[in-house]
Amino acid sequence: MCGIVAIHGSPDPLLGARMLDRLTHRGPDDQGTAVLPGTWLGHRRLSIVDTGGGHQPLTDAAGNHLVGNGEIYNHSDLRARFTGHRWSTGSDNEVALRLAIAGGGAALADLRGMFALAIAGPGLPFLAARDPVGVKPLYWARTPHSVVFASEMKAFDREHRSRVRPFPPGCFWTPHEGLRRFAHAMPQHPNALDAPAEHEAAVRAGLITSVHLQMMGDEPPGVLLSGGLDSSIVAAIAARWCRERGYRLRTFSVGTAESADLAAARRVAAHLGTEHFERTYTAEAAVDRVPDVVRAVEHYDPALLHSSVANHFLAELAAQHTKAVLTGEGADELFAGYRYLREFRDDDALDTELRRTVSTLHTLNLQRCDRTTMAFGLEARVPFLDTDFIATAMSVPVRLRRPDHGRREKHLLREAFVGWLPDDLLWRAKEQFGDGSGMSGVLRDAMSGLVTEADFRKTVHAEGIRNREELAYHRIWHRELAGISPRTLDRSMTL
């Protein structure tokens, strides 16, 4: 929902102002700053919850301040804990401020949502934290005089970019405690279920709960509808929620004129009775959009950019009609939806790989999801990656999630939602979004053609570039994000 900057140590307000200006796209509705002893806080706001009263930095009666990016879906339940407390706003982020002041960084484990935040004041000299999955971005850099935080890498001054690293999900940092973990992306929940039907029921109930929680806001969000299974299921749940409250769900789709996903999304929207918006684009328009997308996504991986270009068009369309959307991110990682996972024959090995993919989402797919939407001041919510739902999905035995024995990938998820979509759409074969939208082939040919084989041979060993297409993206990335270390994009980085 926003962009944040925080500087702790010997803060330079001019540095903070420069960094905040580079995040205007994330928060076009409002701006606020606060100067405290040893800390500078800045906020760009996209107003979704308490649009009239949720100006940030949020502050309490004692003078504690918070800047936050994201949504706390269980904020109403958490408010009820603090009987007698006088709340300053209706903002969901104010709950995070109260929890942290009352219980420190460890108390943030009670938050259910997506968030990156920074807090400073008399009750807590400084704290920065990020949600357990890393849905919302946060980066940090240690400079000679301060520790600097921001929502995107491009916010940092060039002289600091070589120091920039992703802030690890599920962790908080204070100057006295250092970096500490407060929650895991995949909490262990005991599971006494046995029969496949019992797991299907648990998955269905868990996802419905997650979608319902994420419909919060001053107006209900729409859905980015690719036409694939995951976003179609999310749309089906959201459409029922809207109908029960007198709303009509808005759905959004893009693709080339002949793309399979665009046709499928149109049919899903018609079946669900949504207010559907779609846009087609040409190969030429897609290639022209690449520099903007590389700048927005802050990455040069070809597979990521194939879907990112389509997502960029999609976010641009949706932002004309709403401020928040739900997406289908995360289902493939939880339910073994990728083709390469068929190669795993050992359950333990497959389980390890699925857990690895979930734990690295923040450096790949979630980076794409956040940046392409926030480039247009649009918030993306990810119901499949609610931590309670992750726990439910990961408690399903791997033997019931693996795509073998002639079963379609994500078999259990499809069975869980029989009757919610037409059978031919529910059991439609998976296509990667970049493929189904018609994007992958267009970009692969056009971008590879910008690099000669001789250029590629000179660069491949020095930079680890895998092919001519990737080198074309890398050149744009290097130009737009000069100073950022490729290590910052390394999906294997740990604490």
- What residue numbers does the annotated binding site cover? 92, 224, 254
327 close to 387: Cβ distance less than 8 angstroms:
no
In Å, how far are 42, 100, 134, 138, 179 from 174, measured between CA atoms? Answer: 18, 12, 18, 15, 7
Report the distance separating Cα 237 and Cα 392, nearest Å.
18
Of the residues 2, 171, 242, 369, which is catalytic?
Answer: 2
138 Ramachandran zone, left/alpha/beta (phi>0; psi -120 to 50)? beta
| Helices and strands of the chain, counted as H and E runs | 19, 17
Among 485, 478, 477, 463, residue whose Cα is nearest residue 163 = 485
**Known catalytic membership, residue 171:** no
Structural tokens at position 9: 């140590």
Report the distance separating Cα 365 and Cα 357, nearest Å.
10
| Binding-site annotation: residue ranges for ATP | 224, 254
Report the distance separating Cα 134 and Cα 82, nearest Å.
27
Among 271, 234, 251, 144, residue whose Cα is nearest residue 417 = 234
Q: Strand pairing of 222-224 and 250-255?
A: parallel
What are the residue numbers of the active site?
2
